[in-house]
Chains A and B, each alone.
Chain A
């Protein structure tokens, strides 16, 4: 990108600083050269873009994305996931290590980075497998993999069941002060379940995942984080009680942060409705009380990151009786619209609701992007915060179309996305 690009006449929102005013951004050399109310139409520049009063914010950072690359490219590639991300205003995403082969070596991290750079329109960061092959038995080369560029370590959707292994892996990871992410789940309780345990699951005749599956694992993880001193990201909590436990631990000085999947903020277990397999996800949609508690947590800043939990599954794995269908939902393109819809429906300020998808995750990983500051990478999104639309899965850029938002009405549309100052998406 040569020259100076001036984006003016925008509603500029920087969640990191709380800035929310009319103004603009100047891009030069791929970074933000200027930002604020002082950037106007007459600001010197080679290319001028009239934002027409729409919102200009940092591009989104999504800490939980699965593609099918390597190993299941029929589901999604880094290229198609990159397209979906750009269309959704997501300019950085972290891929989970549960690929085939598992990202548990320096070579795989190198591969992911190189593929990401060469084929994806947005920034791709690998996370590293916490244990070799995600088998939960031996810790992976955490130090070397971290040096190679893995931004955190996780066992993905396969929890480390052996507390001794987890304790030592956390202890070792603490040597490097690296972030360890863990999705709290107790397989003994969640195995072969379909949706949230409760009256609705019972009425449908489906095996339910009790919330204890999350609580028990969370209690263990929090204890181990406390005693080992590791920085723990509790990945995708879905219940009120989990949030309470995390806030309590945080109050006691445990280095713990948490994320919530956007779908957990948007749906409750009744949305599974008529055996909708697109609504079969992990963690499952919980109760309305849980959903509201998580939204409350979002409002008061207790949730560090909201993630898409993007998990593409092809039709053949979803068009099955719900008990046999695969878990997972695509989410890169609906992450921002879901949050913007919530902002309107729950009256949440935009700067507040955008923080856990911008500076929140950036701070967890120590990334320079995710904020509108001079010198920061010009990863930006321009969106209409209120434009209504109906989600049609066939319009999604993802290779797989398994979206629970299919057919839902949403508010908020991405108009244009920039990565390092270059346009990677523009709505025609």
Chain B
């Protein structure tokens, strides 16, 4: 597998990736976990490469994770928080893309609040684009880090029963995870009130439940999703306490899953809304902090893999050097 040529220029979503694509990234991620656990967490595989982090939506953990991943690989990392920058003022998305493209980045990590925006940008730039979350569409590196976490801690994903619970409707994490886990052969379940269940979710290749106890029965892994505050104001849900009562993960509901089933959450958590603190902090069952660790490793794998496919700007060294300075 080491000599498998990853056939994609960008990572815009899990959709479109096959099993070999995903496993290639996970295996490389596995190796980076070891590097990250060693004393000198550094290689120079991306030396001389430029990575721009372009976050149109505020983010702490994903942005930080990509930054660390890029630096550990030896890339020059620039983070542009567009949400607060002047680039946002009056400039169209395409203008922003053209401006940044002129800076000749090899890798562009982009998060945007609108579904499809990252794909639009990917058509306008020369570097490799990594989708760090677009609207309620995809968040592929989250799905990859979740898969890496499960593989390392729980075992072979094939045949595993995994539940994704909560606000499926608005979750890019859920969409990417369903796609990823399906490709890897898991039996995926979605558990949510009907107002937060996307229309046609049954066609995603997942079984859909409204009753959490029934949905959790026999699950190896329970993935909780973050519930945005604005969903709890009476439009999609009557209240946070009602959500917690029926869909919040507590000891009792978790007892319906397999004994010692693992619990995951992409963060940031709303303790007491979608997950009880005791479970979030559980020493053996919660994989939540491990997910964060896997995030860096899997993003290193993605960056390295896509950098190999990125166009070589070294063809015209003088001009490129000028543009990059």
- Taking Cβ atoms with an 8 Å cutoff, the residues of A that contact B are 131-132, 137-144, 165, 168, 171-172, 174-176, 228-229
Contacts and interface: CB of A to CB of B under 8 A. Distances in A.
B309 interface: no
Contacts of A131: 234
A141 B234 CA distance: 9
A172 B194 contact: yes
Interface of B: 193-195, 210, 233-239, 241-242, 245-246
- Please indicate which of the listed interface residues A137, A141, A165, A174 has the most CB atoms of chain B within 10 Å of its own CB: A141
8 nearest A-B residue pairs (beta carbon): A138-B234, A141-B238, A175-B210, A175-B193, A175-B194, A172-B195, A141-B242, A171-B194
Given A144-B245, A175-B210, A139 B194 contact: no
- Please indicate which of the listed interface residues B238, B245, B246 has the most CB atoms of chain A within 10 Å of its own CB: B238
Nearest to B235: A168
Contact of A142 (B210, B236, B238): B238
A306 B234 CA distance: 32
A140 B238 CA distance: 5
A142 B245 CA distance: 12
B246 A143 contact: yes
Contacts of B242: 141-144
Contacts of B245: 143-144
Contacts of A228: 194
A103 to B, nearest CB: 14
A234 to B, nearest CB: 21
Given A143-B242, A143-B245, A143-B246, A137 B234 contact: yes
B246 A138 contact: no
B195 A171 contact: yes
B316 to A, nearest CB: 56
A172 B234 contact: no
Given A141-B239, A143-B246, A176-B210, 16 more contacts: A138-B234, A138-B235, A139-B234, A141-B241, A141-B242, A144-B238, A144-B245, A165-B235, A168-B195, A168-B236, A171-B194, A172-B194, A172-B236, A172-B238, A175-B193, A175-B195
Contacts of A141: 238-239, 241-242
Contacts of B241: 141, 144
B37 to A, nearest CB: 44
Nearest to A135: B234
- Please indicate which of the listed interface residues B234, B235, B237 has the most CB atoms of chain A within 10 Å of its own CB: B234
A138 B235 CA distance: 6
Nearest to B238: A141
Contact of B194 (A138, A144, A165, A174): A174
Contacts of B234: 131-132, 137-139
A173 to B, nearest CB: 8
Nearest to A230: B194
A227 B199 CA distance: 10
Contacts of B194: 171-172, 174-175, 228-229
B235 to A, nearest CB: 6
A142 B236 CA distance: 12
Contacts of A138: 233-235, 238
Contacts of B236: 168, 172
Nearest to B209: A175
B210 A139 contact: no
Nearest to A167: B195
Nearest to B233: A138
Nearest to B193: A175
A132 B233 CA distance: 11
A139 B238 contact: yes
Contacts of A168: 195, 235-236
Contacts of A176: 210
Contacts of A175: 193-195, 210, 246
Contacts of A174: 194
21 contacts: A131-B234, A138-B233, A138-B234, A139-B234, A141-B238, A142-B238, A142-B242, A143-B242, A143-B245, A144-B242, A144-B245, A168-B195, A168-B236, A171-B194, A171-B195, A172-B193, A172-B237, A172-B238, A174-B194, A175-B194, A175-B210
Contacts of B235: 138-139, 165, 168
A302 to B, nearest CB: 29
A143 B242 CA distance: 7
Contacts of A142: 238, 242
A391 B48 CA distance: 97
A95 to B, nearest CB: 21
B84 to A, nearest CB: 32
A139 B194 CA distance: 14
A143 B239 CA distance: 10
A115 B193 CA distance: 32
A174 B233 CA distance: 19
Nearest to A164: B235
Nearest to B246: A143
A139 B236 CA distance: 8
Nearest to B242: A141
A292 to B, nearest CB: 40
A303 to B, nearest CB: 29
- Please indicate which of the listed interface residues B194, B233, B241 has the most CB atoms of chain A within 10 Å of its own CB: B194
A140 B233 CA distance: 10
A175 B245 CA distance: 14
A258 to B, nearest CB: 23
A229 B202 CA distance: 15
Contacts of A171: 194-195
A301 B244 CA distance: 42
Contacts of A165: 235
A113 to B, nearest CB: 19
A228 B210 CA distance: 14
